Amino acid sequence: MKKTMFLLTAITFMLAVGVKTAHAQQVNIDIAIRSTAERLSASIGRGATVTVLTMQTDSPRMSDYLINETINALTVLQGGQGFTTVNRAEFDLRMGGLHVNMIINDATIRAAGGILDARYVIIGTFEPLAGFFRFRTQIIQVATAAVRDIHTVDVQNDGLVAYLMGGTVPASTARPVRTEAGQFTIGQRWTTLVLNYIPGLGSFVIMGDTFGGMFQIVCAGLGIAAMIASNTFLAERVPVSSVWGGHRVYYYRTNRLVWFAGWGLVATWQIYNIVRSFTFGRDTPATVAIIPTEWDIALVSRKDGIKGVTLSHVIRF
């Protein structure tokens, strides 16, 4: 029995340590970028030039962030290691200010390296896995297209990553959003209406309507406070005509002016709740053109240099 308990305890401890270790291996995105720059910079010779060519992700915003921050991290390291980093401004200038999603092969690596006058280029991918992201990068020698080093790091799926990947958040914290026509669903509107019987709750939680929620809190708070005050310390002290035991008797009468003012504010809250719950967001256009922030570029190379450049982009309606 003791041996069995000891064995179970040991297994539980090892599982706990294993889970903790696995979790500890996932780092935030900025630490991942710094460790990547430190690792890959060791493969850059003194006097060489390096740049980040592309970071392939499902989000242009994330791709730009990875490119820019990796270049920044390399720039910090270059002084001590004697290499030169082509910064983002020069990169954009030479590529015509375009966001580059390149088809990566030997020819395009040599062509891009020639344009940027870089001996080494860094390419990477950022892919979702089971609850986290894998950031894999390579440093490639332009002249031979040979891979000098590869670095892989697992990145936590935290708030910054969710934002950079297009604002996607875990389902447990997701807020219902408008439909494609800019509308909330009828179920969301009814839920907002009911929750707003706690002033503003539905507006904040369901619709993200800060103004509507604050307006209801102010109206309801002032109205309820006025109605309570009208029956307490603002009540009118009125004497009765009879005298009891030689003493005049008084009673307290509701301060009608304050009570009606409070009632009016509460009514305003209720009416506003109904109107706001079923109209908020209806001014959003039903059809919106999505203008892309990126271009696709394909570079065609031959022995004596670049043969051609092809650019394309798509506008969706």
Give CA separation, 292 vs 60, 162, 301, 314, in Å: 9, 20, 27, 7
Tokens standing for residue 59: 């989000």
Q: What is the DSSP letter of 45?
A: P
Q: Hey, where are the domains in the chain?
A: 10-168, 184-279
Burial 270-281 (b: 16+ CB within 10 A, else e): eebbeebbeebb
Taking residues 15-20, report their average pLDDT: 43
Give 218-233 pLDDT, tens digit per residue.
999 999 999 898 888 8
Predicted local distance difference test score (pLDDT) of residue 281 = 75
Specify whether domain 10-168 bears CATH 3.40.50.10610: yes
CA distance 253 to 230: 9
pLDDT category at 113 given cuts 50, 70, 90 is confident
Give residue 174's region: left, alpha or beta (phi > 0; psi -120 to 50).
beta
pLDDT higher than 90, residue 235? no
Given a contact cutoff of 8 angstroms between Cβ atoms, the answer to whether 285 and 88 are in contact is no
Predicted local distance difference test score (pLDDT) of residue 214 = 93
Closest CA to 32 of 62, 6, 60: 62
Q: Number of helices and strands (H, E) in the chain?
A: 10, 11
Give 119-152 pLDDT, tens digit per residue.
999 999 999 988 899 999 999 998 888 899 999 9
Strands 100-101, 84-85: parallel, antiparallel or unpaired by DSSP?
unpaired
3-state secondary structure 270-293: HHHHHHHHHHCCCCCCCCCCECCC
Closest CA to 85 of 98, 69, 101, 99: 69
